Amino acid sequence: MDRLFPKMPLDEWIVWGVDFLKENLRPFFDGVSSSLKWLTDHVIDLLSIGSPFILIVIIAALAWWISGWKLGIFTLIGLGIINNLGYWDDTITTLTLILVSVLIAIIIAIPIGVWMSQNQTAQTIISPILDFMQTMPAFVYLIPSVIFFGISVVPGIIATIIFSMPPAVRMTNLGIRQVDEELIEASNAYGATTWQRLRKVQVPLAMPNIMAGINQTIMLSLSMVVIASLVGAPGLGTIVYRAVTQVKVGVGFESGLALVILAMILDRITQGATKKTS
């Protein structure tokens, strides 16, 4: 194909950048990998203590308290079905992957969203980056993750964090910016500092939006579960992937059903938490 100008060697620049990072930041990547592996293993051990029925009852009670008795009963029955089908251990692993990824994504996303809400320059710079993160195909994130962290659960977590973080950043920024200007002016009139205004006025009033962003982050994390299995992340995604490659319709439906039940429970719990904060 004819070009007006010579092709930019973008691929060569990317390869050079990746090689540079591998050579100069290897201790950092090893540290991150070890830390995430340690955290994941300990969360799995914690959730695996005792009989599965104990954790099922605890999660059902939590769902009941946050979203009502209907979700509590659904959670009890749904998790009971997962345990009956024999996918409990894989569900715990998947739940751990989601919890770790979402926790880290929230810890990073909310401060960035707050910063964007207070600084127009930060919003101008970060918004295109968020657009890039959301529109880039999820598979692409797996390539550098594997190069830097190898084949394991860690690249799956890293890719999930990057893919699922933008909604939490955007919703935090949007929620704080939508706080009534009169309330902000009133807090300023009483001599509130920027930190006091954020902590006592803007963030509490923006909590419904922030919780909605967290909900979207959880849903996007769930959507990455199967994709993350391609780079060694264990759990229900691995079973779904194997079922697809081996054309095992029954196993694929069972593991897919387990994912759907888990997604519905997490979605309804976070929606209930959003209503409570409203």
| CATH number (domain holding residue 32) | 1.10.3720.10
Asked, for residue 91, whether it belongs to a domain, the answer is yes
Q: Does residue 202 lie within any of the structural domains?
A: yes
Q: Identify the domain containing residue 153 by its residue range.
A: 27-277
Q: How many domains does the chain have?
A: 1
pLDDT tens by residue, the chain, 278 residues: 556 667 777 778 888 888 888 888 888 888 888 888 898 888 988 888 878 899 999 999 999 998 888 989 999 999 999 999 889 999 999 999 999 999 999 999 999 999 998 888 988 999 898 888 888 887 777 887 888 887 778 888 888 888 889 999 999 999 888 888 888 888 878 777 778 888 888 888 888 888 888 989 998 888 887 788 877 778 888 888 888 888 888 888 888 899 889 989 998 998 888 877 76
Kindly state whether residue 95 falls inside one of the protein's structural domains.
yes
| DSSP one-letter code for 230 | G
Q: Tell whether 11 is covered by a domain.
A: no
- Token look-up 């964007």 returns 116
Q: Is residue 269 domain-resident?
A: yes
Q: DSSP characters for 108-126? A: HHHHHHHHHHH-HHHHHHH
pTM of the model: 0.87
> In the numeric block, which tokens belong to residue 144?
């550098």
Does some domain include residue 7? no
The answer to the question of residue 89 being in a domain is yes
Q: Strand runs (DSSP E) across the chain, as ranges?
A: none
106 in a structural domain: yes
Q: Where are the alpha helices (DSSP H) in 86-193?
A: 88-118, 120-135, 138-149, 153-164, 166-177, 181-189
Tokens at residue 30, please? 């090893």
Which of 233, 239, 187, 268 has its CA nearest to residue 82?
Answer: 239
Query: Which own/partner contact pairs does 64-67 have at CB distance under 8 Å and 24+ positions apart?
Result: 66/269, 66/272, 66/273, 66/276, 67/268, 67/269, 67/271, 67/272, 67/275
Q: Are 258 and 236 in contact (CB under 8 A)?
A: yes
